[in-house]
Chains A and B, each alone.
Chain A
Amino acid sequence: MTEMTAKRSPMAAISGVMRNAGIAVALVLLILVFSLTTTTFLTPLNLTNIMVQITLNIILAAGMTFVILIGGIDLSVGSVMALAGVVGATFVSNPELPTWLAILGMIVASCGVGAIAGTINGLISAWWAIPSFIVTLGMLNMARGGALQFTQANTVYIANPAITKFGTATVAGIPVLFLVAVAIIILGWFVLNKTVFGRMLYAIGNNEEAVRLAGHNTLFYKTAAFAICGLGAGIAAIMYMARLTSASPIMGNGYELNAIAAVIIGGTSLAGGRGSMIGTLLGAAVIGVLGNGLILIGASDFVRQIITGAVIILAVILDAVQGRLAAKRKGA
């Protein structure tokens, strides 16, 4: 997979920026269309609603970006989110625990479950060099089955007032849930661009063999990328519980595909080695704005599904054209 992509160079970095510009243009276009066709889209309330609605996908997609950058894929994030959620919910829904312990227990349990599941995904696929597609497909089933077994298929209702407060809090009118998601994007951007660890992930995505021959422990880096992705699923589970004060073993069904779509729309290459966290944020925003705007203009469910699929393809075409143009300009 990895040999298909060119090595990263300053030129590639510039084309990366151009790619983000392409998706940003698409986002602005969408916003423009919905602002002109509805009176309700461009209102503060609707915009903050969209922010809350895309929180989960941003966080899952941020983790997914790490995995896709090394040329992997994680199909298990939706299920891992459910398992992390129902395990965390046993703490936060327990009225006998003091609030601080209930919250702390939830955070440790949800993040722990997510990170452990991610670590298992990474270790198995890296150690035995098994495609992560199949390993995480197995994990998808294990985590979903685990969540169902754990709850005996029951939805857990969370009556803890502290988490409700967190779920509805705003700072300067911006939902805290969204701010957390943006903070995660910024942190992810920093790790990927400003740390040796992050650069190493790009290098592995471009040419894993070269990295290994240079004496680096690729097993560690690859496992860490999956662990981060799993951790993201754990954090997303906490956001889910904060927003919906419930945890269900069937939550997050199919969310892995939305997360992958956000990452790819955001210009990250499925082959690995190329992409950015900011692109992922924009990709999640495109999906969220589209879902919201199509309801506001009154498109039927089925038409909505068709258009969403078409826009994913269009965004990727736009991205490819943009990338080719940028390469040509520099080649000339």
Chain B
Amino acid sequence: MHNKLTVAIAAAMCSTALMAVPSLADQARPQVCLVMKSLANEFFKDMSIGAEEYAKSRGDFDLKMVGMQSETDFDAQVNAVDTCIAEKKDIIVLAPADSRAMVGPVKRAVDAGVTVVNFDVALDEEAKKAAGLDLAFVGPDNAAGAKEAGDALAKALGNGGKVVILEGNPGADNGIQRKAGFEQSIKDNGLELLDSRTAHWETEEANTVFTTMLTAHPDLQGVMAANDSMALGVVKAIDAAGMSGKIQVVGFDNIPAVSALVKEGKVLATVDQFGRDLASNAIDLGIKSFKDGKPLEGWVKTPIELVTKDNVK
């Protein structure tokens, strides 16, 4: 599955490179509005850098980027979408802060004739149906990624391995999907889940929560952390307990701080969802759909890759 995705994305990139030359001609440049979540998050920061570079290298559309102060500040995101509609942008590329609350503003945009691309986190199916909105989703399969990480852990531990999960923010869609992926892997591989708790994506809280989980379950063998910041805290807790090498950790996001730990073998695996390319892929699809007048359909999956000692950079 990986390879197919990689090929698809490579093809997409080649076609983009080819498109760059003719479209420099001075025709109507599509006006793109990129609305993201918190730029305080490494993932989105990276994404915004990627989008900026993409806009510069391609040069045939105008990009306006909007980020928010915090992950949960969807009020500001609603305002951002409404502003883009008012400015008569052609395309809105949106990473929803809330999969239900953002359906209303998106419907307004679509009704106003704006091409909307929903990426990163999918809008809620039922809410879309209720609003009479039919919209594709462009993004990674968080559950599949988490399952791959979980499977890597299961392979290292063997059947019956005892694991715990560190969840993201309760209610965050990507956190829910990653937890679901972990749970699926636990079920498929016959692992035993001892405990599952949130550490709100955060290193220090993960350290505290995991240390206490280890006290409650001294026999635990593996940890599935829903992001790498939490994996960092877990690794420190394992070091402090003198259990290095005895407890395996998998994370998610492939942040630079974790690469070193993957090399050292302290983190078994993490998942890269190529955040830097995510926004540019979505923008590319949006421009295509806008120019052809053909709406996107279903779930356009973007690549994910399991990062282990063998392929870490």
Contact = CB atoms under 8 A, between A and B. Distances in A.
B257 A244 contact: no
A250 interface: yes
B257 A157 contact: yes
A99 interface: no
A53 B208 CA distance: 6
A295 interface: yes
Nearest to B194: A298
> Which of A38, A56, A153: most chain B CB closer than 10 A?
A153
Interface string B230-242: 0011001001100
Nearest to A49: B211
A40 interface: yes
B212 interface: yes
B82 interface: no
Interface in B175-214: 195, 197-198, 202-204, 207-209, 211-213
A40 B257 contact: no
B233 A250 contact: no
A122 B76 CA distance: 31
Nearest to B43: A153
Given A154-B42, A155-B42, A155-B255, A248 B229 contact: yes
A49 B215 contact: yes
Interface residues of A, number: 38
A294 to B, nearest CB: 9
B45 A152 contact: yes
Main secondary structure of the interface of B (DSSP, over half): helix
A75 to B, nearest CB: 15
A79 to B, nearest CB: 11
B264 to A, nearest CB: 10
> Which of B202, B212, B229: most chain A CB closer than 10 A?
B212
Contacts of A253: 202
Given A153-B40, A154-B42, A168-B240, A244 B197 contact: no
A244 B215 CA distance: 19
Contact of A296 (B39, B42, B212): B212
Given A45-B215, A153-B40, A243 B257 contact: no
A251 interface: yes
A250 to B, nearest CB: 6
Given A157-B256, A244-B233, A246-B257, A301 B216 contact: no
Nearest to A299: B197
A200 to B, nearest CB: 35
Contact of A154 (B203, B233, B240, B256): B256
A249 interface: yes
B63 to A, nearest CB: 19
A240 interface: yes
B245 interface: no
A40 B257 CA distance: 33
B41 interface: yes
A153 B45 contact: yes
A48 B179 CA distance: 31
A152 B41 CA distance: 9
A8 B202 CA distance: 42
Given A53-B208, A292-B212, A244 B195 contact: no
A120 B40 CA distance: 24
A245 interface: yes
A168 B203 contact: no
A156 interface: yes
Nearest to A296: B216
Interface string A193-205: 0000000000000
Nearest to A255: B204
The 5 closest A-B pairs by CB, nearest first: A153-B45, A157-B257, A295-B212, A155-B257, A53-B208
Given A154-B255, A155-B256, A296-B212, 16 more contacts: A40-B216, A43-B215, A45-B215, A56-B204, A153-B45, A154-B45, A155-B42, A157-B232, A159-B260, A167-B240, A168-B240, A245-B236, A246-B203, A251-B203, A252-B204, A298-B195
Interface of A: 38, 40, 43, 45-46, 49, 52-53, 56, 144, 148, 152-157, 159, 167-168, 240, 243-246, 248-253, 291-292, 295-296, 298, 301-302
28 contacts: A40-B216, A45-B215, A49-B211, A49-B215, A52-B211, A53-B212, A56-B204, A144-B40, A148-B39, A152-B45, A154-B255, A155-B229, A167-B240, A168-B239, A240-B204, A243-B207, A244-B203, A244-B233, A246-B203, A248-B229, A251-B202, A251-B203, A291-B208, A295-B213, A296-B216, A298-B195, A298-B216, A302-B170
